[in-house]
Amino acid sequence: MVQGASRTVAQVVGVSLLAVAVSAFLSVAAVRHGFFDLQVYYGALNWWVHDGGEIYDYLRPLTQYGFTYPPFAALVMLPMAYLPWLAAIVVSVAATVVVTVVLFWWLIDPISRRAGWTRWFVLAVALCLAAAYEPMRETVNFGQVNMLLLFLVAIDLLRLLPRGNRWAGVGIGLATAIKLTPGVFIVYLLVTRRWRAAVTSMVTAAAATLVAAALFPDASREFWTEALWNTGRVGELAFVSNQSLRGVVARLDPEHPSTLVWLVLVLGTLALWAWRSRVAAAVGDEATGLALTGAVMCLVSPVTWVHHLVWLLPALILLVDNAMAASARTLRRRLLLAAAFVGYGLLISRIVWSWEQDFTGPDGFLGSNTYVWISLALLAFLPVRRWLVPPGSGDEASAVPQLDEPDGRAPAAERNRVGGPLSVR
């Protein structure tokens, strides 16, 4: 009893010290954006609701930035037009915090149970580390919707789809109707032959879009015929914050970026993703499917600002999961933990901004695209968790050899522990 109390006190002190350290780090490293994107949403909605303007005609004063999301997103955000500005900030930050806590619980709690860690302590440590993660702090400081979209997709892939729930696909459909890029998860469902969920997601996205069109016909007409195709409203492709393959190509030749080279890179990346996603789906590893598809979305989207890279969080967490599934003191565990440490370390460092003004030369090519290389490495090398396959299933034979590799052997007692690999599902 005394020993347990002492451990709890030590854990509380440890979390408190980590929170202080992260706060000190953020006071130096975090850039204050003044909720810039939230100001765009807020201004556009007020212009539309209270001033009688068209939502896609609005530009934030002294900038080229306007509302770029589909009309259904405007419908979802409509209550913001009736809130004071400070209340809108509170809602934005609170919503991001709540969905992050829930998502991290879904991803991290199975690791804690398998490893025998104190569950609340591991979650608290992970949330502190997430606060220092550059894409997360940028999402909060800009007032962006990235974590809300990731949460909608995760509801489907982590909760509903593994249980065969008939509503699987609704979250992906809603995320796609709010912002088009999560539509790649519909492709994921098609590639992995989850036909019912794919149809559900497409019907949901279409229904949400039609509802918005019926309510706001003028705004819908302008978005689908004009605003969607006006790339100048988004920003400069070569800007160092654009950590996509399109950004890589644009930084090679900002004046004349090669569309052909970009398309070739995209096709190759999609082929790798489709193959790896099908492998993950074949053993029921939906979390890895989520992580791989999040990484490929960041890579193939024409514009992936740094704050969009919150979609890499599941992959970083799963690196730790795979490491802890390997036996202690093995090369496999050390390599996976090192990969997670290096990837996370670079993604809190703002390293790409060192080349914001000049990304020429070999160092500029390598350094200004650091986050792209991380996305590619995660897509190519994030392990599929074959050890999730239940004993006695048809896929068990293909799963066991991975555990029997010299650097990845898990003791029988560890594999059979209560709360073991099956609990992740």
Give the DSSP H/E element, type plus range, for residue 303: none
Residue where the block lists tokens 């249980």: 163
Joined together, the tokens standing for residue 257 give: 């970026």
Q: What is the pLDDT of residue 414?
A: 37
State pTM to two decimals. 0.90
Residue 151 neighbours by CB distance under 10 Å: 20
Q: What is the pLDDT of residue 399?
A: 36
DSSP letter assigned to residue 411 = P
Q: What is the pLDDT of residue 64?
A: 86
Is residue 48 within 8 Å of 69, Cβ to Cβ?
A: no
Instruction: Give the side-chain half-sphere CA count within 13 A for 298.
Output: 31
Q: What is the pLDDT of residue 416?
A: 35
Residues 6 or more apart whose Cβ sits within 8 Å of residue 158: 106, 107, 286, 287, 290
Average pLDDT of adjacent 10-residue blocks, the chain of 425 residues: 82 96 94 94 95 92 90 97 97 98 97 92 97 97 97 98 96 98 98 98 98 96 88 79 97 94 98 98 96 98 96 98 94 97 97 96 97 98 85 43 35 35 31
Cα–Cα distance for residue pair 368/363, rounded to 1 Å: 8
Q: What is the pLDDT of residue 2?
A: 63
Of 169, 186, 201, 213, the C-alpha closest to 70 is: 213
Instruction: Give the side-chain half-sphere CA count within 13 A for 207.
Output: 12
